[in-house]
Structure 1
C-alpha cells in the first residue's frame, strides 16, 4: 500500500463524515488547549510555591558563645543536606536590624543589644515539613543553641494547597484526555460504519485488517494534527500577544523550562498521539468485527 493512497483515503474519510470529524477535532482542540493551560498555570503555581518555600528560613538563636564555638556551629549547619545557605547575624547586626525596622522608637532598645546572635538557615525548597521538623529537632540538641524557630504552619499550608491543586489538575487532565479519545473513537467508528460495504468487499478480495485499518489511523492522526496546530496557535497568541495587552502581569509568567516551544511542542505531540490512539482503538475493534457474511 502506497503512502499516497493511505493519506488520500485518510483525508477522504474526514470529508465523508464532516460533522463527526469537526466535532472530534473541535473536542481535541479544546482538550489540548485546556491541558496546555493547566500545564502552564500548574508550572507557574509550582514556581510560586517554590519561591514562597525559599522565603521560609529556620532561625537558630544562640546563647553567648565564643568565636570558635560559633564557627563550629556554622560548619555543622553547612554540612546539613537540607541547608542551602547559612547566614550569621551577630548581636550588633541584630540590633541594627531592629533599629532599622522600628526607627527612632527602637534605637534606645537597640543600644542595649538585648537581641541574641543567631543563624539564619536557608532550606532546600524541595524539603517537606517532616524533613524540616526532623532538622529542627536535631539542631535543638546542638550545644550553644537556645531556640529554633520556623514557620511550620505556612510551610504546611503551601504543601497542602499545592498537593490539592496538583490532584485536581491531574484529575481534570485525565478526564479531558479520556473524553477526547472517546470522541475520536466514535468518529472513526462512524466512518468505518459508513464504509462497511467497501470493507466487506476488500476482505472478499483478500485485504488484511491491517491494510484496511491504515487509512482510518491516518484520519485520526490528521484530526489530531489539525486540532493540535490550532491549540498551539491559540495558546501562543493568547500568552504572547493578547493577554499581556490587557493583563500586563501575565507577561512576566515564564513558560515551562523558560521557552514557549517546549509546551507547544508537547501539546502538538499529545494531540497527534490522542488522534492516533483513538483511531487505532476504533479501527482495530470495528474492522475486526465487520464480517464478510453480514
Structure 2
C-alpha cells in the first residue's frame, strides 16, 4: 500500500471513529432527554389530576350573599387555593338533571340541593393530612354546613404516586448508569486505536497532561456535537407531538425545556471529558508490552 493510500485509509478510519463516537453520544443523550421529558411531564400530569380534585364546601341556607362573597374572596387568597367557584343550588340542580336525564325538582316539588363553593387545591396540598386540616379550618365559618371530598381517592392517588415514583427513580438510575457505560465504552474504543501513539509520545518525553489535552479537547467537541444533534432531534420530536396533540404543549414550558436541553449539553461535555481522561490515563500507565493485549 502506498503512503497516499495509507494516509487515506487512516483518514477514513479516523472519520469513522469520530462518527461512531458522536452518533453514540447523540443517541444516548436523546434517550436521556426523552426520559427527562417523560419524568417531568408525568409529574405535571399527577399535579393536574390532584388539582382537579374538588373540595365541596356546602353553605347553609341562612348564609347572606355578602358573607358568601367575602368568604369566597378569603378562600381565594389562601396559600393552598388553586381556584374557587361559587355554585348556586339552581346551577347544581341543572347539572344534576343533565346527568340524571330527568327533572327531579319537579318530581320532589322542591330543590333539596345547597349553595356551595367548589374549591380546587394546589397539588402540594392534596394529601390526607393537609386536606383534613383545611376542612377543619373551613368548617370554622358559622355558615358552612359541610366540607366534602373523596377521601379514598386521595389516599389511593397518593399511594400509587409513591409506588410509581420509586419505580421511575430506579428506572432512571439504571438507564443513566447504562448510558454512562455506553458512552464511556465508545470513547475508550476510539482511544484504544491510538494507544501506540499515546505510548510513543510518552516515550519521547511528553508529559501526561500534554498527551491528554488534544484527546480531551477533541472528544469534548464530539460530545458537544452529539449533544446538539440530540437537542435538535428532541426539538423535532416535541414539535411534531405539539402539532399532532396541541393540548400537551411540550415546548411551551420554556424553563423546563431550557433546563433539559442545558442538562443534555452539560452532560455531553462532562461525560466526554471524564471518559477520555480515564481512558488515556489507562494507556499512559500501561507497559509497552501490555499494549498488545
TM-score normalized by structure 1?
0.74
CA distance in structure 1 between the partners assigned to 2:247 and 2:71 by the alignment? 40
CA distance in structure 2 between the partners assigned to 1:291 and 1:235 by the alignment? 44
What is the SS of the residue equivalent to 1:132? Answer: helix
The match for 2:276 among 275, 279, 294 is 279
Asked whether 1:150 is paired with 2:149, we answer yes
Deviation string, structure 1 residues 43-77 (Cα, Å, up to 9, x no partner)? 33333323222221211123332416545644553
**Quick one: structure 1 residues 38 and 280, their matched pair in 2 at CA, closer, same or farther if it must change by over 3 Å?**
same
Match of 1:88 in 2: 86
Tell me, which stretches of 5 or more residues in structure 2 are unaligned?
1-9
Tell me, which stretches of 5 or more residues in structure 1 are unaligned?
1-11
Residue-pair matches, total: 277
Deviation string, structure 1 residues 107-166 (Cα, Å, up to 9, x no partner)? 315751211222221211332313223212333344333221112333344444444444
Which has the bigger relative contact order, CA under 8 A and spacing at least 6?
1
Asked whether 1:38 is paired with 2:35, we answer yes
What is the SS of the residue equivalent to 1:216? Answer: helix
TM-score normalized by structure 2?
0.74
Match of 1:108 in 2: 106
Match of 1:209 in 2: 208
What is the SS of the residue equivalent to 2:131? Answer: helix
Deviation string, structure 1 residues 61-112 (Cα, Å, up to 9, x no partner)? 2333241654564455345321233333334443444444445432315751
* Contact 2:21–2:190 (8 Å) recurs in 1: no
* Contact 1:98–1:110 (8 Å) recurs in 2: no
**Quick one: structure 1 residues 186 and 74, their matched pair in 2 at CA, closer, same or farther if it must change by over 3 Å?**
closer
